Amino acid sequence: MSYNHGQPPHQEGPYANTQGPPPYPSAHPHMGQQPYGAAPIIIMQQQQQQQQQQQHQRTVATDIQDLLRFFEKRDQTKDALVWTPSTFINLAKNVISLCKEVREIIRREPRCLKISSPCYVLGDIHGNYQDLVCFEKSLWRATPLLSPASFLFLGDYVDRGVHGLEVIIYLLAAKFQCPKKVLLLRGNHEIRKVQQMFSFYKECLGKFGDTLGKEVWDAINTVFDVLPLAAVIDDKILCLHGGIPSPTACPGDFVSTVNDIIVPLSEPESESSLAWEIMWNDPFSIDTNTAAQIPSGAIGGFFPNTRRSTGNYFTGEALMAFLEKNNFTHVIRAHEVVQVGFKVQLSGRLLTVFSSSHYCGGTNEAATVLVDSAKLRLIRLDTT
């Protein structure tokens, strides 16, 4: 046992058993001239603390955050939300190393997170960096660490919008800095094949060039492969990207079955029908459909999702049976754009939240849900 870090063995021992403090480490040569006494010890301790703090403060996540601030707009000489060509090499190096760090944090999490309220739940961002910054300014202006609430993101960070890269690296840096406060689930766009069909793959190649772009895209997708698929707040409120799974995909208890999904999951379509349904399913709503459209062969209120050509629809009856079986009260999901940013459906037991305004050039607003004790508060965000 030693209280004296980095000193030769003959100098080891508690301070109390020595005549005055031990000699200063040679790493502080200017301190070696000081006579023994209280004041130099305090100075040395302060210096060590400052050094330690500086070491802790400079991380790959803070480097990314600095680069993002520059991207947002550093000064009068630069337009907002524009990179300069020279930033990309540095950025790519940092993103790849951030992905390695964050992947290790996330892969240790259960597939179904257990969260205590208060918790803000955000839906699809889809490359809308401006809206993400609006949420930051409203909900975690300095850092999520200063908020009593945690922040749960339901997936679909990339594709559609032009700033998928900026959105995902912002969130990964936040995850690195506040792993318990920032919680990220997987959406159906956190899948390679989907990004190749939509825009994120091209976005990475366009920003970094073919070789580096592919490396960055691969690194980010290795993080997506380990993202959790669901979360339960206060043991009662289930949160996921798309919808509840059919009994065929999830025959047993939801939480334990989801926790058994393999990690990493790089081919969810062939590797886990449960993960696939969680990411793709939609509620069958009488607002947009008619009861007559429910096919007679629908099993337990689930039937093929013809609009997406994959996944299932689930009815209100299917939802009630699922909630009762798993002892949940509500489901919060994202996945579908809704005009005011949220929509209450299926007898108030299902909430859709969408956190990207003006989606695909439309007029919709962005919203978040605050789960606080037994209350669900729906908050619309002014993104103008």
Residue 58 C-beta: closest distance to Mn ion, Å: 36
Task: Tell me whether residue 358 is one of the annotated catalytic residues.
Answer: no
Count Cβ atoms below 10 Å from residue 33 Cβ, excluding itself.
8
Cβ nearer to Mn ion, comparing 212 with 249: 249
Residue 364 C-beta: closest distance to Mn ion, Å: 14
- Kindly state the DSSP code that residue 19 receives in the 8-state scheme: S
Residue with the closest Cβ to Mn ion?
335
Stretch that binds Mn ion, among 36-44, 114-122, 153-161, 190-198 (CB under 5 A): 153-161
- 156 near Mn ion, judged by CB under 5 A: yes
Cβ nearer to Mn ion, comparing 70 with 198: 198
Stretch that binds Mn ion, among 111-119, 138-146, 149-157, 349-357 (CB under 5 A): 149-157
Residue 306 C-beta: closest distance to Mn ion, Å: 17
Indicate which single residue of 65, 117, 128, 188 sits in contact with Mn ion (rule: CB under 5 A). 188
With CB under 5 A as the rule, give the number of residues binding Mn ion: 4
| DSSP per position, 171-219 | HHHHHHH-TTTEEE---TTSSHHHHHHSSHHHHHHHHH-HHHHHHHHHH
Which structure tokens are listed for 355?
A: 């956190």
Question: Which among 126, 189, 241, 335 is annotated as catalytic?
Answer: 189
Residue 31 C-beta: closest distance to Mn ion, Å: 58
**Contacts for 230 with CB less than 8 Å, ≥ 6 apart:** 111, 112, 113, 185, 238, 239, 240, 254, 258, 278
- 335 near Mn ion, judged by CB under 5 A: yes
**Helix axis angle, 200-208 to 164-177, nearest 10°:** 90
211-235 burial: b if 16+ Cβ within 10 Å, else e: ebbebbbebbbbbbbbbbbbbbbbe
Residues carrying an active site annotation: 189
Residues that bind Mn ion (CB under 5 A): 156, 187-188, 335
